[in-house]
Structure 1
């Protein structure tokens, strides 16, 4: 059963923003098609109905539907992009923990993974989780590329060549309490 907009807002903000943007788009299109000079026939009080249609049309012209829709969509995209970025960072640090021989930065990688996991957990909704599941290969590709660059810059080109080409982690592993074998 579909959730009400209020329920969706509380449980899945990203899905709410996308549904609201769609509803605003439909409303804007419908209002723009209203021809106040030829209202539908009303059995009683035609002048009051005509006045209501004209008032609704005038009010609607004050709303910048195109930009409002864009802003609502962007709210959701900002949430989505933040989660994608944090997940990419988690993957990068998991790769560093598992494949780098550097000992100095390990604790900071662990601390950052914990912080990013906390941030993701606080904002993760069902639709954003589905997005991360779908995007995991692309996010891993970004993390892999950046990890290779970092390892090479810090004198670990051998470790960079041992990185897996495809994501060895599930989303549950990346976002949960799982840790890789350190320093493979």
Structure 2
């Protein structure tokens, strides 16, 4: 991908490529006062920040999907569904801007964070953390699918 096209099509990939090119230029010892290494790090970090943001959105999706699946409570299910929809939309928007991020997501770490968040809330419903799956029961496609919902273990919609 060329510069402007890459920037417009996949921001994350662009940041990583630009960081690499800056480091390459620094090795060439171009005689300027530019702090090439730190500029490359900052650009690279912009891409990493987007990856963390998507991970945060997906951890919230996991949290609320687990609540929807495991909570015996009839309420606040509507609020949980709304949160899932909002967080999915934000993650999808970020991935549309940076499609290569999809392959860089640490689903295991995202799930562990979301599971911990869910466990705190589910404790109020007498659902013990040990009842939640140790490994992510949802695929990335399910986490991002705006029409997919887990089946409630207590018969709730």
TM-score (normalised: structure 1) = 0.76
Q: What residue is the counterpart of 1:181 in the other structure?
A: 151
Q: Which has the higher contact order (CA 8 A, sep 6+)?
A: 2
Unaligned runs of 5+ in 1: 33-56
SS at match of 1:91: helix
Aligned match of 2:2: 4
1:90 counterpart = 2:61? yes
Residue-by-residue CA offset, 1:77-101 (whole Å, 9 max, x unaligned): 1111000110111011100000011
Q: Give the greater-gyration-radius structure (CA).
A: 1
**1:169 corresponds to 2:138:** yes
Unaligned segments of structure 2, at least 5 residues:
none
What does 1:12-51 correspond to in 2, within 5 Å? Answer: 12-31=10-29
**Matched length:** 151
Residue in structure 2 matched with residue 49 of structure 1 by the alignment: none
Q: CA RMSD in A?
A: 1.5
Q: Secondary structure at the match of 1:122?
A: helix
CA displacement at 1:150 relative to structure 2: 2.3
Report if the CA contact (8 A) 2:59-2:111 is conserved.
yes
Contact 2:59 2:113 in 1 (8 A): yes
Q: Note the C-alpha offset of 1:183.
A: 4.0
Q: 1:131 aligns with which of 99, 104, 118?
A: 104
Q: Map 1:26-175 to 2 at 5 A.
A: 26-31=24-29, 57=31, 60-61=32-33, 63-124=34-95, 125-132=98-105, 135-152=106-123, 154-158=124-128, 160-175=129-144
